Amino acid sequence: MSKRSPTLSVVMPNYNHGRFLPRAIEGILNQTRPPDEFLILDDASTDNSVEIIESYARDCPLIRFLRNEQNAGVIAAHEKLYNLAAGDYLYSAAADDERCPTFFASALRMAAEHPQAGLIFGQMVIVDEAGIERGVIKPSRWDEPLYASPERFLDEYLNVEPPMHAASAATLFRRKAFKEVGWCRSELGSFADTLATRAIALKYGACYVPERFCIWHRSSDSFSGQTARDGRRSLDMIACAERLMRSAEFSDRFPPDYVARWKRQQRRQILWNYFLGDDPPGATRLPFLVRNFKRIPRLGEVFRLLFYRGETSC
The one-letter amino acid at 297? P
**C-alpha to C-alpha distance for 177 and 211, rounded to whole angstroms:** 24
Structural domains of the chain, with CATH: 8-217 (3.90.550.10), 229-306 (no CATH)
Please compute the mean of the pLDDT values over residues 178-197 and round it to a whole number: 91
Q: Per residue in 288-303, pLDDT tens?
A: 555 555 567 677 676 6
Cβ-count burial 226-264 (b if 16+ within 10 Å, e if not): ebbeebebbbbbbbbbbbbbeeeebeebbeeebbeebbe
Q: Per residue in 250-274, pLDDT tens?
A: 999 999 999 999 999 998 888 877 7
Q: Is 282 a residue whose pLDDT tops 50?
A: no
| Residues pairing with 67 in the sheet | 42
User: pTM for the full model?
Assistant: 0.86
**C-alpha to C-alpha distance for 116 and 112, rounded to whole angstroms:** 9
Q: Per residue in 50-103, pLDDT tens?
A: 999 999 999 999 999 999 999 999 999 999 999 999 999 999 999 999 999 999
Among candidate residues 2, 24, 3, the one with its CA nearest the CA of residue 14: 24
